[in-house]
Amino acid sequence: MEKIAYEILEREEPVVLAENLGFGKYFTDHIFVMDYSPAKGWHDAKIMPLRNLSLHPATTFIHYGQTIFEGLKAYYGENGDILLFRPEKNYQRLNNSARRLCMPEVDIDFMVEATKELVRIDKDWVPRNNSDTLYVRPFMVGSDPFLGVRPSADYKMFVMLSPVGAYYPEGFKPVKILIQDDYVRAVRKGLGECKTAANYAASMLGAEIARKQGYTQVLWLDAVELKYIEEVGTMNIFIQIGDEVITPKLTGGILPGITRLSVIDILRDWGMTVTERQISIDEFMAEYDKGNVKEVFGSGTAAVISSVGELKYKDRTLQVSGGEIGPLAQKLFDHLTAIQRGKVEDKFGWTLKVEIPVNA
């Protein structure tokens, strides 16, 4: 296995975290970097001080978007341990994205170890309060300086860290969502199930239109028929109709969320019926009109569990859970974050401890 080289910053001042971290505004002292070439495979893994990149202007990912990423979090647990949540799932998904974009796969065990090592080195940046966390952003880019359209030969893999608070400005308050049918985010057999820049770029115009109308996010419909509910872009969606919790099945146009997967397991463990199936916007509206839609909530690493209080579709505005946080969303948020922070038994074995040497 690849060895990691170290260049560690000597800090003169202790780390002081901002009071209102927001999301993605602050970065820790170090970054993990590794290079790939066809001749050497992955090589030159290092952890070094975070600094600007120097890139040739023809670097291929800038032009043609061969770039994939992940998002996971590190938490301070009850007894002072730092915990990562299901990191191997993120690197599995990174490899799935890599295959679709003709990029090289990484060694999952090595990347999990490298992530632990980076978090260990920047441990003072892990927030100690109950609401903030350290967001971990692994990403890979094609790095050839070449303007022809073909997969890059060389690549760079990075992991960077950012202490974060709530993703949405509302905090844990219910979000308002616009159901968008003027634009689509992604298409099955396209890049929909990959965590790649193009899907986020495609979502921005719809999201800006939503924002100008006072909505936090967009709920996207499928790109072929504009009929089925897909996802929110920053989170997967769950709809409780009567006693059944429905989440759109993974048709290829939806990101297979790790929080989504965990929510399904937790709900089933609680004895609830969870169905992964296609749900059309017409079915949703009909159930709403019959008074059967009990709750709508989203799940994501950044968003955690986010209750949806209001949805707008064409000229109709629908209130869910009286515009308040739904009880199921609240219970899930409490339970999932308790698992992530080691406050309740981790019966699924989802958390991974970052061992900190005693005298570190």
Q: Is 163 in the site for ligand COI (CB under 6 A)?
A: no
Closest CB 302 distance from ligand COI, rounded Å: 3
Assess 196 for contact with ligand COI (CB under 6 A): no
Does position 192 interact with ligand COI (CB under 6 A)? The reply is no
The reply on whether position 217 binds ligand COI by CB under 6 A is no
Cα(50)–Cα(9) distance, rounded to whole angstroms? 9
Contact yes or no for 311/177 (Cβ under 8 A): yes
Distance CA 215, CA 218 (A): 8
Contact 297, 257 (CB under 8 A): no
The one segment of 53-61, 186-194, 296-304, 324-332 that binds ligand COI by CB under 6 A: 296-304
**In the complex, minimum distance from the CB of residue 125 to ligand COI, in angstroms, rounded to a whole number:** 17
Residue 142 interacts with ligand COI (CB under 6 A)? no
248 binds ligand COI, rule: CB under 6 A = no
Torsion region of 242: left, alpha or beta (phi above 0 gives left; psi -120 to 50 gives alpha):
left
Candidate residues 115, 196, 301, 340; the one interacting with ligand COI per rule CB under 6 A: 301
234 touches ligand COI (CB under 6 A): yes
For 247-252, the CB contacts below 8 A with 24+ separation are 247/274, 247/275, 247/276, 248/276, 248/277, 248/278, 248/279, 249/276, 249/277, 249/278, 250/193, 250/276, 251/188, 251/222, 251/278, 252/188, 252/189, 252/192, 252/193
**Which of 30, 31, 59, 71 is the binder for ligand COI (CB under 6 A)?**
71
Q: Which of 218, 263, 302, 328 binds ligand COI (CB under 6 A)?
A: 302
Contact call for residue 67 and ligand COI (CB under 6 A): no
Q: Least Å distance between CB 71 and ligand COI? A: 2
Nearest Cα to Cα of residue 262 among 176, 179, 349, 320: 349
The one segment of 103-111, 282-290, 297-305, 342-350 that binds ligand COI by CB under 6 A = 297-305
Query: Among 300, 309, 326, 342, which residue interacts with ligand COI (rule: CB under 6 A)?
Result: 300
- Three-state DSSP class for residue 239: strand
C-beta closer to ligand COI: residue 70 or 154 = 70
Q: In whole angstroms, give the CA distance from residue 307 to residue 319.
A: 12
Residue ranges that bind ligand COI, judged by CB under 6 A: 71, 234, 300-302
